[in-house]
Amino acid sequence: MFIIRMHPARRFSSRTIAFAFATAALVSQAMAADSGSAIPDMSGQWGRDMLFFEPPPSGPGPIVNSVRKADGTMVPRNACCGIVNPWAGDPANPILKPEAAEAVRTFATSALSGTVAPELHNTCRSEPPPFVMSLHFGVMIVPAKDQVTLIYLLQNSVRRIPLGVPHPAKLTPNWQGHSVGRYEGDTLVIDTVGIKVAPISTVDAFGTPHSDALHVVERFRLIDGEAAAEAQRKNGATYRAFPPYGRGTVDPDTTKKGLQVAFTVEDPGVFTMPWSGQVTYRRLIGAWPEAICAENPSFFGSDGGIPRAHVPDF
């Protein structure tokens, strides 16, 4: 049994990443054999060529971009990365309490004026769920017997999810929060609490705030390949021969399963009701790149600065 552990603050060499990718499927098979159950093989690279959250099949959904063409479709992508310009969320969404709606309106006003507001992604900070799913074009899943590791594309942001354990009784909030996971049949369920509240900590790319009561549940499951392709097309995917950040291309073979992450968000301090969203991925072809945000402090026009440790570690 391989158990792959990755330090959340390290840069991984291409060889290390390739090894993790190559052994992930073997780990999944061994886990299934040990447990006697059909744990789904979600290991490997998954990607999408669009941004933001997709709406749920029904019920209250996430904040969406309010900038649309006359026919209601999104404005054209720019030359880089399939990004919608500008990012201006809709403050009229009924999930928002008045103060939260004002925060989204302020963020949108800034975006529409041409100002890039600082947020977790463009200042190279750790990203919690659901935010981490909104602005990444890829995720690599590395399963192990006692945990699942999620490595997101930009800056190889890492989430390590222990399996089959509860949240501790006392939590110190942090940027990524505290996540625990479990398998429910063919679904990987990840439960996250303890997400840090700070001026730039938001649940999405539109400046939607959260309180310390934020509770996020993600449900990962494999879906039909053609259904995954249709979900991506419906939500604005524009496939390119040269994807962002050196990432591999989306595998066009729709006989291969897709991956869908459905999530629910509860936060009575900010939202009038629980709401849901989802993100759909497809298999990727190619090597997993190193894309380090901290080496590009002017990312997307912001000025995040090079992260520095002002207090010695020891």
Domain boundaries, the chain: 14-284
pLDDT in tens, 72-102: 555 544 434 444 456 788 999 999 999 999 9
d(CA 174, CA 107): 23
256 compared with 239, residue with greater pLDDT: 256
Say whether pLDDT at 300 is over 70.
no
d(CA 308, CA 302): 17
- Give percent of the chain with pLDDT exceeding 70: 77
pLDDT in tens, 31-61: 544 545 578 999 999 999 988 999 999 999 9
Say whether pLDDT at 133 is over 60.
yes
Say whether pLDDT at 191 is over 70.
yes
Q: What are phi and psi of 5, to 5 degrees?
A: -115, 135
